[in-house]
Amino acid sequence: MNTELETLLVKAVDGLLTPDEQARLDAYLAEHPEVGEALEDDMAIKAITDGWAQRIQADADIEPPRPSGPARVVLGTGMVLVVGAVTALMGFALWMTLRDPAVPMLVRAAVAAGAAGAAGLLGYVVKVRLRSLGRDPYREVDR
Amino acid sequence: MLAAVSDDLHGRLQEALPRAYVAAFRILGDRDEARDACHEAAQRALGAARSYDSGRPFYPWFHRIVKNCCLDRLSAKKTARAREVEVGDEVSDAPGAEALLMGDQKAQALARAIRSLPEELRAVIELRHFQDASYADMAEILAVPEGTVMSRLYRARQRLREALADDPAFSRPEAPAGGAR
Under 8 Å CB-to-CB from B119, ≥6 apart: which residues? B86, B88, B89
A138 with B43: Cβ contact below 8 A: yes
Chain B residue numbers touching A142 (CB-CB < 8 A) = 51, 64, 68
Q: Is A1 helix (H, G, I), strand (E, B) or coil?
A: coil
* Residue of B43, B130, B151 lying closest to A65 (CB–CB): B43
pLDDT at A137 over 90: no
A57 with B22: Cβ contact below 8 A: yes
> Between B145 and A134, where is the model more confident?
B145
Do the first three CATH levels of B1-101 and B103-168 match, i.e. the same topology?
A: no
> Between A18 and A126, where is the model more confident?
A18
Q: Is B87 exposed, middle or buried (0-12, 13-18, 19+ CB in 10 A)?
A: buried
* Per-residue pLDDT, A87: 86
Confidence of residue A5 (pLDDT cuts 50, 70, 90): very high
* Residue of A6, A45, A59 lying closest to B110 (CB–CB): A45
* Per-residue pLDDT, A69: 67
Chain A residue numbers touching B125 (CB-CB < 8 A) = 49
B68 with A50: Cβ contact below 8 A: no
CB B142 within 8 A of CB B87: yes
* Residue of B2, B43, B150 lying closest to A7 (CB–CB): B150
CB A56 within 8 A of CB B22: yes
A10 with B39: Cβ contact below 8 A: no
Confidence of residue B52 (pLDDT cuts 50, 70, 90): confident
pLDDT digits (tens, 9 = 90+) for B87-130: 555 555 544 455 445 556 788 888 889 999 999 999 999 999 99
The domain spans of chain B are: 1-101, 103-168
Q: How far apart are alpha carbons B95 and B112 in whole angstroms? A: 13
pLDDT at A91 over 90: no
pLDDT digits (tens, 9 = 90+) for B133-173: 999 999 999 999 999 999 999 999 999 999 998 887 777 66
CATH of B103-168, one of 3.20.20.70, 2.60.40.180, 3.40.190.10, 1.10.10.10: 1.10.10.10
pLDDT digits (tens, 9 = 90+) for A23-65: 999 999 999 999 999 999 999 999 989 888 888 877 666 555 5
CATH of B1-101, one of 1.10.8, 1.10.1740, 1.10.10, 1.10.3470: 1.10.1740
B129 with A70: Cβ contact below 8 A: no
pTM: 0.62
